[in-house]
Amino acid sequence: MRVMRHPIPASAKATARSRRSASREGGKGCPTGIVLALALVAGLSAQAPAPADALFDKFFAAESPADALVAADQIAASGVAFDTAYARLEKGRTYLDEKRGEYSLRWRSKSGPFFNNVVDVPADYDPSKPLQLRVQLHGGVARPSPNAVAPGRPTGGDKPLGLSGAPNRIAGEKQIYLHPSGWAAAQWWDEEQIDNVLRAVDALKRKYNIDESRIYVTGISDGGTGVYYMALKEPNLWSSYLPLNGSIAVIRHPENGADGEMHGNNLSNAPLYIVNGENDPLYPVDQVEPHLKWFQTLGVSHLFRPQAGAGHNTAWWPTEREPFEQFVREHPRAAHPAKLSWETERVDKFNRNRWLVINELCQDATRTSPLKDMGFFQHTKRSGRVDIVRAGNTFDATTRDVGAFTVLLSPDAIDFSKPVTVTVNGKPAFSGMVKPDPAVLLRWSARDNDRTTLYGAELRIVP
């Protein structure tokens, strides 16, 4: 059965750091005079700000990853010690008293109209306390313009299809809300829309004290379908995915215009909470259930909440709200998951899953890979896949058609005072010491803008 969407109108940190410091301490002690001299120098240094302080202020004041990268390079060039840079980045910026209530983040799209991303900040937001962020994708993405109606507001535009025209915004716990805007020329399954959402989230993280472990994405109808697309293409931010009244089958069909190719194993990196109505005229429960069996085959963590008698609306929200919120609470993002799987057909974008980056693709005709395609999505391009497991300082990877990949190493996940070992497809690929590099640390921090995922080294592996 062909599925269509709505028609378109024309180391513990302390331990790791202490080990790094201990590894630099040599000899059996210094003469007393040298000790006194060093103490005097240390005392003078404590009285004056370090030269890097102003550069870190510039880094944290940056309004975009590109601006932060400029400051990062300057900090690295100043000769800052790794431990000093790590402590500053882990602490993060000082958050100020920012705007509350509802306002928009706007920038021009490639097609001309402005993205109108609506932000809603609680009136009692406290910049000293990290707060959860919900990104909610609206339905009716076939609307002709992003300004036809504010994102998430009821339009009644669904009524010709026999639907309710109910609001796309659903109330939740105290948190910051981001309602991105989508329309026919910028659908949720367009590459540009991924860029828009990521840009908006990054902008909010630079202003508000957002809990990086509790950023999740949900959506209704077309927005629910967009949640699946986000999970398949860009996994790095999200703690969980909660598609409501959507269907993953929409983005399977080329005529619906989803950018790029989809790989089912990419869904295995964060849990899904799925809601569909029994009598939904577009995506009823009996149409969605086969997708859930496929999820089970893939090992995708998911919870399905079918709604008896429900149509294509959110009339069930008053009773579903608490299970929804509980699911979000129970699934914070793991900063450094021990197991990852990622597949991609390109290496310029959509090629990273947390601490794994696929750098090169190649056709490996010399062996039979255990990483099999499980069907469902159509593929016309070569792709590469890496499944990798970390246990302490040991990494065990299985690859298919990958010429090179990079493992990002964090002092929160490995011990830099011990060797790192990488095995690929059962064969040794690397074994040795890896030195943490402040330039690497700063560069990835500029890009990620995340206090909880700090990477001190890059290890490029060629299978």
Q: Which two tokens stand for residue 31?
A: 């003469």
Q: Is residue 40 part of a domain?
A: no
Q: What is the CATH number of the domain that holds 246?
A: 3.40.50.1820
Q: How buried is 441 (Cβ within 10 angstroms: 0-12 exposed, 13-18 middle, 19+ buried)?
A: buried
- What pLDDT sits at residue 147? 64
Do 191 and 227 share a structural domain?
yes
Do 112 and 66 share a structural domain?
no
Tell me phi and psi for residue 322, to 5 degrees. -65, -45
Do 343 and 233 share a structural domain?
no
**Of 210, 255, 199, 241, nearest to 65 (Cα)?**
199
The CA-atom distances, in angstroms, between 313 and each of 56, 158, 381, 429 are 48, 10, 37, 52
The CA-atom distances, in angstroms, between 121 and each of 80, 91, 175 are 36, 23, 7
205 contact partners, CB below 8 Å, separation of at least 6: 212, 449, 450
Q: Is residue 41 part of a domain?
A: no
Do 447 and 304 share a structural domain?
no
The CA-atom distances, in angstroms, between 41 and each of 25, 27, 33, 142 are 18, 20, 12, 66
Strand partners, 104: 118
410 within 8 A of 336, measured Cβ to Cβ: yes
- Structural domain ending residue among the three candidates 312, 330, 348: 330
Q: Is residue 36 part of a domain?
A: no
441 contact partners, CB below 8 Å, separation of at least 6: 82, 85, 86, 89, 454, 455, 456
Give the domain range for residue 276. 101-159+166-330
3-class DSSP state for residue 273? strand
3-class DSSP state for residue 382? coil
Do 244 and 105 share a structural domain?
yes
Q: Is residue 2 part of a domain?
A: no
195 within 8 A of 236, measured Cβ to Cβ: no
pTM: 0.86
From first to last of the 463 residues of the chain, give the pLDDT tens digit.
Answer: 334 444 333 333 444 444 333 333 333 333 333 333 333 333 433 444 456 789 999 999 999 999 999 999 999 999 999 999 999 999 999 999 999 999 999 999 998 999 999 999 999 999 999 999 999 999 999 888 776 555 655 444 333 222 334 456 898 999 999 999 999 999 999 999 999 999 999 999 999 999 999 999 999 999 999 999 999 999 999 999 999 999 999 999 888 889 999 999 999 999 999 999 999 999 999 999 999 999 999 999 999 999 999 999 999 999 999 999 999 999 999 999 999 999 999 999 999 999 999 999 997 755 567 787 777 888 889 999 999 999 999 999 999 999 999 999 999 999 999 999 999 999 999 999 999 999 999 999 999 999 999 999 999 999 8
Q: Is residue 376 part of a domain?
A: yes
Quote the CA–CA distance of 197 and 226 in Å, as a whole number: 11
- Name the domain count of the chain: 2
Do 140 and 243 share a structural domain?
yes
Do 423 and 289 share a structural domain?
no
384 contact partners, CB below 8 Å, separation of at least 6: 343, 344, 345, 358, 360, 361, 362, 399, 400, 401, 402, 403
Q: Is residue 212 part of a domain?
A: yes
Do 371 and 394 share a structural domain?
yes
Tally the C-alpha atoms within 13 A of residue 230's C-alpha that lie toward its C-beta.
Answer: 33
Do 247 and 140 share a structural domain?
yes
Do 389 and 248 share a structural domain?
no
Quote the CA–CA distance of 2 and 97 in Å, as a whole number: 51
- Structural domain ending residue among the three candidates 330, 347, 378: 330
**Of 243, 258, 257, nearest to 302 (Cα)?**
243
Q: Is residue 30 part of a domain?
A: no
Do 292 and 263 share a structural domain?
yes
433 alpha-carbon distance from chain centroid:
29
- What pLDDT sits at residue 202? 98
Amino acid occupying residue 398: T
- Structural domain ending residue among the three candidates 330, 357, 381: 330
Q: Is residue 4 part of a domain?
A: no
Do 209 and 144 share a structural domain?
yes
457 alpha-carbon distance from chain centroid:
20
